[in-house]
Amino acid sequence: MNPLKKLIKWAQRKSPWIIHFNAGACNGCDIEVVDALTPRFDLERFGVLQKGSPRHADVLVCTGAVTMQTADRLKNIYDQMAEPKFVVAVGTCACSGGVFGDCYCVKGGIDAVIPVSAYIPGCAARPEAIIDGVVKLLSTLEDKKLQPKNPIVINSEKELADMLDEAEAAEENTETENFEENKAKEDNENA
């Protein structure tokens, strides 16, 4: 493999750029996607940046059930993206059509129009689950598989609950350590 191809693969793994598309969601998942990009969750620590043009994006993050109005737009955005491209369906509606699946104007989930690389279920999907989905998608790239053969399904309810418990425990440990350090400093100053 020549050095230029190695550099391109490294850049795709270490700095995926995303574009977000709302196919017809209630905005619950949209808010969670935007929340995952805030400093509180800091998706940028994985090199993920949100872009406004599909020509610059590597990952298409979709929310909502695909309606007849948005199906062509979604397909056009997907076609404008450069190869290799990945699609992440965020939320129950994007995965299967959700509660809107039987509506006359809904085609179904995102996979009714374009191929999906990762599914992140939930109504609305939590930012932790979205981050976990992005990390798992990136780990498939590190395994030198440019396109996952089977879509990745992220976080059953139990997995998500365990992940939230671990995050809370880590936060409590950090608070306890900070308290103990501050207490030791105060004791040293008072002595």
pLDDT digits (tens, 9 = 90+) for 40-58: 887 777 777 778 888 888 8
Q: What is the pLDDT of residue 52?
A: 81
Counted domains in the chain: 2
In this structure, are 20 and 54 located in the same domain? Answer: yes
Spatial separation of the C-alpha atoms in residues 16 and 3, rounded to whole Å: 19
Q: What is the pLDDT of residue 13?
A: 65
67-94 residues labelled b (16+ CB within 10 A) or e (exposed): beebbeebeebbeebeeebbbbbbbbbb
Report residue 24's pLDDT band, with 50, 70 and 90 as the boundaries. confident
Token duo for residue 12 = 């795709």
Spatial separation of the C-alpha atoms in residues 16 and 36, rounded to whole Å: 15
Q: What is the CATH number of the domain that holds 111?
A: 3.40.50.12280
Helices (H), 23-126: 28-36, 68-80, 92-96
Token duo for residue 95 = 């995965």
In this structure, are 129 and 188 located in the same domain? Answer: no
In this structure, are 161 and 124 located in the same domain? Answer: no
CB 64 within 8 A of CB 23: yes
What is the arithmetic mean of pLDDT over 1-6?
74
In this structure, are 37 and 77 located in the same domain? Answer: yes
Report the predicted TM-score, pTM, of the whole model to 2 decimal places. Answer: 0.69
- What percent of the chain lies above the pLDDT cut of 90? 1
In this structure, are 184 and 119 located in the same domain? Answer: no
Q: What is the pLDDT of residue 118?
A: 85
Report residue 95's pLDDT band, with 50, 70 and 90 as the boundaries. confident
Helix (H, G, I), strand (E, B) or coil at 179: helix
In this structure, are 83 and 95 located in the same domain? Answer: yes
Domain ranges, residue 87: 3-155
In this structure, are 143 and 160 located in the same domain? Answer: no
Over the chain, what is the mean pLDDT? 77
Chain segment 169-191, per-residue pLDDT in tens: 766 666 666 666 777 777 777 76
| Residue 112 confidence (pLDDT) above 80 | yes
Q: Which range (4-13, 107-116, 119-128, 151-160) has the least confidence?
A: 151-160
CB 132 within 8 A of CB 154: yes
In this structure, are 181 and 140 located in the same domain? Answer: no
